[in-house]
Structure 1
């Protein structure tokens, strides 16, 4: 039953590809069924094929996962209703596949299965980023894909070292027995590169800035936080020396990305660099107060996601993202107050 949370969007994504005239209906049904199962499923763990957790692939469904998935799917549904007239059935087939892979990612408790879902989400994001085949967007998507390839290879090297030591890919078992520091260094390097932190993630500004409408909110709202969620899962076994290093790294990257944020004239690039700053804050939260991190995910997903939606609407109306060129342009009063409220609320938790 747990697997249905991931299989329903993936299955309907395939159906959407073949029944293009029923795209909106199929996407809506997919979300309704996903919400239904998220509501009625009981908490617990499940191993595919009834193997032991050490040999099989374990999935976990608890209150935290339920909380994250309900709100992520709600955010994804809101984004869908904003753009359902903009794209064809192939786009939304990929959209549902991405939703299913993210659902599966949050429930996975096997190092390699986490990699599979993260890699699938990366490939689908790459395809969605440049869906209109614009040359600039294609190059931004390629940069994202190449950095993803490098970062996930580091992750896999670390996972291979773990497997050679413990004989299992089960995350909970490896945590309970302590993770090799050498393996940890490879895993963390990959995750920090993938997670949008300054110095390591040169892909993020261009990807966020050039993405087609509807993709930037998902990319900033959830995709960049997936690697940090893995660090959140690993934090109980993180050696103290690595915690100290990561804390100083987070502080330095937050300061540097904040400075770069202030230098931007492109409204979407401004928010992209601020996302890098907020990923550093997210890392600090994991190190200082891990139980608060799932709430950070949700809060940042809605606030920054909605801000990117507003930026997309402004660009669509005015034909420019340049803040200097937008000076003097008129926006509706409700849009202004909504943007001001979101930016103000975001500053209270994670200063821009």
Structure 2
């Protein structure tokens, strides 16, 4: 018998669908509002998030939405809880449960994600409110001697403990070890670091007894650093990323949902599409890779909508259309059917 957790995990990476990451902390959300001159208030955050969750047709390309603690308890202008709105639309509700990356003692420039204290009780509470999956993000920087082995191991251990606690209370864990884009590193260097990080993460997941078919991996794409002077083509990124995953990710994992990590929205879509095309490059109906490839994007889905809304509810429809457009483009990319012309010819693949 297939467990409910496996069923949820499979639904999150259903063909042509992905996750809307709208789990920004209060501070992060306020910074993004400030970029467009929007008041940094609870009401503004609620109105913006209501715009996202009520976008008509969102479930065409979005399988799940990752919320923040504040968002899980918010409601629309009509008083409908966001959780109920998403459930009614057929979108699975998730929740970010880590409390942020803090300085790692003894390792300047490195961070460890915290939030394990009291996590079992918080997870049970979130499940009672309607959450069905959770997310924990670790961040690792590439630099001179970075990331250190200590940083990799402590974050991998925390991710595994979090994942085990999630499954204990009936939530699907999304495991997010993000190797950051900032730096001058090459594509090959990013591949080496990402491979080592993933190797240690899955070693720790095994040690903690986490069921791999009831979890989702949310990795970074393998990319050269933002300050690198060597460009990488779509094919370069697709090959490097997928080769990295094939070396490190067990076939039992329910799915891989890439993070966008600050990439330009259209470029993140094109890179996902290039990877998915590799998945059927042989022309066979059977995928080359053992796990579904999907997306879990935040800014790469939201930013165009936020720019159009700019705090003015008269622009809600325009903003929602922008969100739906990006969601549909990424849904097409998750099937390997995205075309650059879609950016100008309309909303449908």
Structure richer in helix, relative to its length: 1
**Greater C-alpha radius of gyration:** 1
Q: State the TM-score, normalizing by the size of structure 2.
A: 0.29
Q: State the TM-score, normalizing by the size of structure 1.
A: 0.29
